[in-house]
Chain A
């Protein structure tokens, strides 16, 4: 199996967004320094063990690092990961913390893809979501990135927040298309456990957007972005031809990846592990040369296969029976024939030319469909 994707987690933020349940903390610079040291140490252990085709530095907010810190991080990567093999090297950035100098560093250290957390082009929305940047910041950051020569930029957008109208969302879509990034992710706002957004929902100070309005927003995204040259290749992802995110395919195809940093997940030979989530315990563990793995699961073959189908159904191209057979030694129908027939009858999945995929109808209720493959 290929282990060609490396993920590095930077769990620091200026402040926690209202909807965010990612592993992130608000922290001062000194602690970031210690963390980066631990990252370097964890990377050094990988030295030579794997060849990576994609590297993804995510967060948190990687762009929160000072120029010195950022350089240290980028340097650690280049030092331990053979750069000649890296085809896609992404760093996530927040328009509020990205500076011209940081952009210069990214470019210098061969980062070739930037994922910009824009979320919305409307300041009222940004404020509602608890973002630290303005709509102008986003536009400026984008222009600076292009100026610096970044040819592969993703813009993240969020839709479906309680105070957003379909009209608001259409404006965001229009703005993003005018800006013209190479890749766009549109995420429906999710109420994750433990976030301040969910607490507000629970004490009824906010109310969820009507499901039908949210559906209409989603349908509009697909229609509008597709008609403007973006291929809808995954549930929430759109890309210009050739700009699909290579790194994330490792997750959707359920193939191996290595995660570095606090709370990062790795998946190697059917074994999934995650590092200690607590940033300080993680740092201490690494410094004391301890095993920092806090979670480990080995998937049974059937479970592995079922998870693989579920993840692959996120991709609009679905999953090929040939690939499935090569990996698991039996056909999709052997394990899921009954479900496939039933769901096909309802028009939720299709199975043509040896490919199982969600239909458009199935796409909107993907979770319900996926339950059948568990």
Chain B
């Protein structure tokens, strides 16, 4: 097949700007799926994605389009829109020649629009600006065009006006894809050179590798070689996504599809790696990607210690499908044996946790998330600390360093004050404000990552009545005056409740934390004392007074079933608690360190 009829493109957008709906329309219009098969938002194939309205994994689908008597093969590669998944966006972009830059006609340019558009520009992709949801009564396409020009230098006349809901403008998109996005270059006769831009694990078939072929071709029976991992496999099947997998004889230069090659684990495949033929290798590997970096860590423990192995199996199953999720065994004095898990961001963490609970029947305790700190020790050794427990004694620390991010907020100007106040309260450093229009601005702050992984996103949303958006980039480590805040429950230090905080916030946080814990931990038959300490200095104390009287006065015939059910419910609740010493601590308490502000 000549590459002249192929177009590889993706859709980049801020979350909720209508990407999935547009993708559905493109699939429908090209009859890639019959209406019987049609489910709204076809590309999001995990339940969780559909529920949350977001796309987590990149997916790909081949569309057939006839224009002026000529048949075109369009490959649409889906991208996630959330801040945690910019890594996944960049790898989708690497497989394309062009991108539809989708902007909601009423919401306008948002933080992830800008971040993703810049990524696409860096990769020299042809960009087709698309203003979506123009059918909505509060749409303001002209303002949005201005914003795009101001932030991204996109000329207003380049933009297409679309309503994926009514179908208006969809044909124009197809025309633009064919005319403005160049067909892939590449030599079908050269040695195979293809990019792994994603992979999934299928229970029955093993790893399914998502491939973009740049040069040469690959077919069943070929022995392929992965250049980075230095391993070879025999190809069992190749094909394309329509959007279900459809077998093809081969994939050649310019095409996008999948390859199954008896690969047992996702860990055997490196996304971004170059795949070539084992015998006839290409001389030069593709640039590939920077590996995803876990930014947020937390401990995950089984409530019942006997479930440790079940938890390990469950985490292994999860990581088969999500190579950016990491886990390592760790031990907590309070919680026993568990795992330290790494995530791309807080949303990613929530998704993994939810999936864990949904897909396995294990009660888990999750500790408060933290970032990775860097500590320069007196002996000049630099260590990375992803768990407050690993902070060395104060005497051994020369410098405590924390990760910083550059955060850009795009928001209506009336909320600038609120967001500045929020950012200052989180040790933010103001950098700049740039006006997109009279009404909207980009605000830039440098913030410690630790300050934004908890509830910052929600706070930002409520401070801007939902109109503000946020994107951030890691910019490096910086020295800070940090201390470890310890919590004692009934005179026992609970390692899982330790956090790293800034010294100036320590007293207030300590006081708020024990107050909060006081509300989370229910009363016991004895007094429970809660203390916060820095080193050996106690900075706050609360006590939970014991239960004095807890006895049902009446229990006759009709009360017995009800009473038993009540006790059963209480017992069930107890099961989800972690017993430390004699104190039952609910899962919620371990997360209370997150939101001591309230």
A residues with a Cβ closer than 8 A to B are: 7, 23, 187-190, 211-212, 214-215, 218, 235-236, 248, 250-252, 254, 257, 259, 263-265, 267, 272, 274, 295, 297, 303, 306-307, 310-311, 314, 346, 348, 363-368, 370-371, 374
Contact = CB atoms under 8 A, between A and B. Distances in A.
Contact of B550 (A23, A212, A236, A368): A368
B549 A265 contact: no
A218 B561 contact: no
A190 B554 CA distance: 9
Contacts of B560: 251, 254, 265, 267, 272, 307, 311
A363 B548 CA distance: 11
A211 B567 contact: no
A365 B547 contact: yes
A368 B556 CA distance: 19
A272 B551 contact: no
B35 interface: no
Given A254-B560, A364-B551, 6 more contacts: A188-B553, A189-B553, A212-B548, A235-B552, A251-B560, A346-B525
Contacts of B564: 303, 306-307, 310, 374
Contacts of B550: 364-368
Nearest to B526: A346
12 contacts: A188-B551, A250-B557, A310-B567, A311-B560, A364-B548, A364-B549, A364-B550, A365-B548, A368-B550, A371-B570, A371-B574, A374-B567
Interface of B: 525, 547-558, 560-561, 563-564, 567-568, 570-571, 574
A251 B554 contact: no
Nearest to A274: B558
Contact of B549 (A214, A236, A297, A303): A214
A360 B323 CA distance: 58
B554 to A, nearest CB: 6
Given A310-B564, A370-B567, A265 B558 contact: yes
Contacts of A303: 564
Contacts of A259: 557-558
Contacts of A363: 551
A366 B551 contact: yes
A248 B556 contact: yes
B553 A235 contact: yes
B525 A365 contact: yes
A314 B556 CA distance: 11
A45 B574 CA distance: 45
A368 B568 CA distance: 12
Given A248-B556, A251-B560, A374 B568 contact: yes
A183 B549 CA distance: 24
Contacts of B563: 310
A251 B556 contact: yes
Given A254-B560, A374-B571, A187 B553 contact: yes
B525 A367 contact: no
B554 A236 contact: yes
Nearest to A368: B550
Contacts of B561: 265, 272, 295, 297
B574 to A, nearest CB: 7
B558 A211 contact: no
Contacts of B557: 7, 250-251, 257, 259, 264-265, 267
A368 B553 contact: no
Given A254-B560, A374-B564, A314 B549 contact: no
Nearest to B555: A314
Contacts of B574: 371
A235 B558 contact: no
A309 B554 CA distance: 16
A265 B564 CA distance: 15
Nearest to B559: A251
Contacts of B553: 187-190, 235-236
A314 B564 CA distance: 13
A215 B555 contact: no
Contact of A211 (B548, B555, B556, B571): B548
Most buried by B among A254, A259, A366, A370: A370
B552 A366 contact: yes
Nearest to A234: B555
Nearest to A22: B558
Contacts of A254: 560
Given A236-B554, A272-B560, A365 B549 contact: yes
Contacts of B568: 374
A251 B550 CA distance: 21
Contacts of A297: 561
